[in-house]
């Protein structure tokens, strides 16, 4: 009985190792995706701000 528990624990440990490596890769991919998303949002925000400024100055000139 004791031996079986030990073997089972060892097997799950191996599975955990594989899972940890996979989740590590997944986390890095997710971080990369989030970074790209954030940069795109920042760009869109700056673009909107720029357009607002531009329209305000053009109205001001007229």
Taking only the tens place, the pLDDT of each residue in 37-47 is: 999 999 999 99
Residue with the larger pLDDT of the pair 3 and 26: 26
- Whole-prediction pTM: 0.51
Predicted confidence (pLDDT) at residue 32 exceeds the cutoff of 60? yes
How many domains would you assign to the chain?
A: 1
43 in any annotated domain: yes
2 in a structural domain:
no
Query: Which range marks the domain in which residue 41 is found?
Result: 21-62
Residue 7 lies in a domain: no
User: Residue 1: inside a domain, yes or no?
Assistant: no
- 57 in a domain, yes or no? yes
Residue 47's nearest CA partner among 59, 57, 35, 39 is 39
Percent of the chain with pLDDT over 90: 48
Angle at 7 between CA 4 and CA 9, to 5 degrees: 110
Whether 50 is covered by a domain: the verdict is: yes
Whether residue 46 is contained in a domain is answered as: yes
């Amino acid at each position: 009985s004791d031996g079986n528990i030990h073997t089972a624990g060892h097997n799950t440990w191996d599975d955990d190792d594989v899972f940890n490596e996979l989740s590590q890769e997944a986390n890095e991919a997710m971080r990369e995706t989030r970074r790209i998303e954030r940069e795109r949002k920042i760009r869109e925000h700056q673009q909107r701000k720029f357009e607002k400024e531009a329209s305000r100055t053009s109205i001001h000139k007229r």
